[in-house]
Amino acid sequence: GAWNARTLDRNDLFGPPADSGGDGSCFMTGDGLGDVDGGFTSLVTPDLDPFGLVMPVVRFDLWLRLEGTVPANDRFEIAASNDGGESWALLEVVTAGTDGWASRSIELDPVASPTDIRLRFRAHGESEAATVVAAVDRLELLEWVCDDGVPGDMNGDGFVNGEDFGQFLVEWGSVDSVADFNFDGNVDGFDLGILLGHWTG
């Protein structure tokens, strides 16, 4: 039941009949001929860089088969770490199967920081009689964008340019400032990265 990056086979006994991204492959538990039994299996991403993102969000497609399961034993978990995997923050627990591929978006605010982020997908199949199969595809790190402005637009004209940069420099090193775009209490290089990342000219 271990995770594999594999090309899907329509003759598989378990798993989705097709991927969601259109390239014919995805990450999936098992080899298409069995499910997760007697424990859990984890898929951990490489480090993802959220630099410049004010409100980072992870978006992915999930295919999940949970049949004959006991929710306490058989489930799918999504967790995140901002310390290289030393500790994990549980973001979501899924105890019901999906009807085909389902798109999911999860805010990373509880663990978001200027450091890299790792994600962990874990399928639990501890009940021998249960069927637990999971697949993940089209993983993206995105940003929620609010309708009330563009990050870095300090004068509210809808653009991020030299005028905003000049105002930003005045706020450099201050605390509790409108130039604190990542809301960490300080105006520093991380906020500058956000401003430059939304530069319109």
Spell out the domain ranges in the chain: 3-143, 147-201
Question: How far does the chain reach from its first CA to its final CA, in angstroms?
Answer: 51
Q: pTM score, two decimals?
A: 0.70
DSSP string, 107-173: E-TTT--SS-BEEEEEEEE--TTSEEEEEEEEEEEEE---TT--TT-TTSSS--SHHHHHHHHHHTT
pLDDT of residue 147: 53
Of 191, 163, 189, nearest to 179 (Cα)?
191
pLDDT digits (tens, 9 = 90+) for 137-186: 999 988 766 556 788 888 888 899 999 999 999 999 887 788 888 777 78
Architecture of domain 3-143: Sandwich (2.60)
- Per-residue pLDDT for 132 more than 90? yes
Contacts (Cβ under 8 Å, ≥6 apart) of 22: none
pLDDT of residue 12: 73
Q: How sure is the predictor about 118, in pLDDT bands with cuts at 50, 70 and 90?
A: very high
pLDDT of residue 10: 65
| Choice between 15 and 76, residue whose per-residue pLDDT is larger | 76
Q: How sure is the predictor about 96, in pLDDT bands with cuts at 50, 70 and 90?
A: very high
pLDDT of residue 40: 94
Q: How sure is the predictor about 111, in pLDDT bands with cuts at 50, 70 and 90?
A: low
| Choice between 164 and 13, residue whose per-residue pLDDT is larger | 164
| Percentage of residues in the chain having pLDDT higher than 70 | 92
pLDDT of residue 190: 87
Strands 102-107 and 74-81: unpaired
User: Does the domain made of 147-201 have the CATH classification 1.10.1330.10?
Assistant: yes
Q: How sure is the predictor about 39, in pLDDT bands with cuts at 50, 70 and 90?
A: very high
| Choice between 181 and 121, residue whose per-residue pLDDT is larger | 121
pLDDT of residue 161: 93
- Per-residue pLDDT for 112 more than 70? no
